[in-house]
Structure 1
Amino acid sequence: MLDLDETLVHASLEFMEQSHLQFDVTFKEQDYHVWVKIRPHCLEFLERLAEKFEIIVFTASQSIYADKLLNLIDPDSRLIKHRVFRNSCLFVNENYVKDLTVLNRDLSKIAIVDNSPQAFGYQVLSNGIPIKSWFGDTSDRQEVCLLKLLPFIESLAAADDVRPHIVNRFKLHERVSAL
């Protein structure tokens, strides 16, 4: 599973130079124009993952916005097989938390890449792969972030249970305990 905003893309209601996509969306009877930058190597990342995995985008964004954006990124749903939105999140302490159990899938086979560990930390910290937030920066340091994760994620395809591998690599439980 992949998060959308600040993981795969950066979107804004304000003009962004060199945006890759633009679209209009109506939300609560208000019209908005959205500018979107796609994270470097995003499409390559999605294509490689789609070879080995069922890709699900799980976003805390509203479906009216996220569906339009995902239709532009993957118009034929060739890469992203399922979409899960804010209405499937739990609202806990002013945060939208992604409840992976809504997918009705074996949690030993699920990994979620998200820039916001609190979004997946409520119940499934062992399934979470953290990534640095991306806000449209094109520096080399950020560009390789998705590509750096690929070998590890691809290695999970052979795992009987992804959770021990994720826990060992990212040690999120230790980080949370230290807070």
Structure 2
Amino acid sequence: MRDLSALETGGGWCLRDEVSGAETRLRRPRGLPDLCDELSKQWGFLPHPWSFEGQVGQTRVRLALQWCSYQHKVMRSWVNLRWASEGGTHLQGFRLGLRKALRARLNARAPQQEASLPSDEELEQHLTVVLDLRLSEPVWHGPSGTKLTNPETKSEVAWLVAGWLEKALADNSAMEDRVLSTLGLLRSKSHDLE
């Protein structure tokens, strides 16, 4: 319930235990960025989580992400308000979009060099991501229905994430340097002189 309260921006929830009378109030005025802040445990080095909302066809994506100085991978996602605990094609699309954006920025910085990226696991180890996806007809895998399998979702989410993240990094060179350095992708100036 605590996480779900972040899916509606600007709202608040009040949960009351009828037996004890105890109340818990949940308020996240910024929605997903507030949850992302909480999950990154103040280890994030962006002043505030980056957030994005976009749509391709019937696929609407909202996400917030925070880069962390320490290894602290957290990925949470929902599809039509349903927790996708096993991930699925939308997270595959996020990973593909992340790789495309990082590769594009590395190529923009050093066009003469082939951009080489580490594994998805290594790229995600400093990342907190909260993703909310809305689809007209989600297709779930298995009896528990916790893994999204819509094939079109992968390319649609990848396209949205790649474009947004590439622009966000390009527009903030200091944060781009910090992100690439944290991921071990930024070559030092002394190495370039060798």
TM-score normalised by length of structure 2: 0.26
Q: Which has the larger radius of gyration?
A: 2
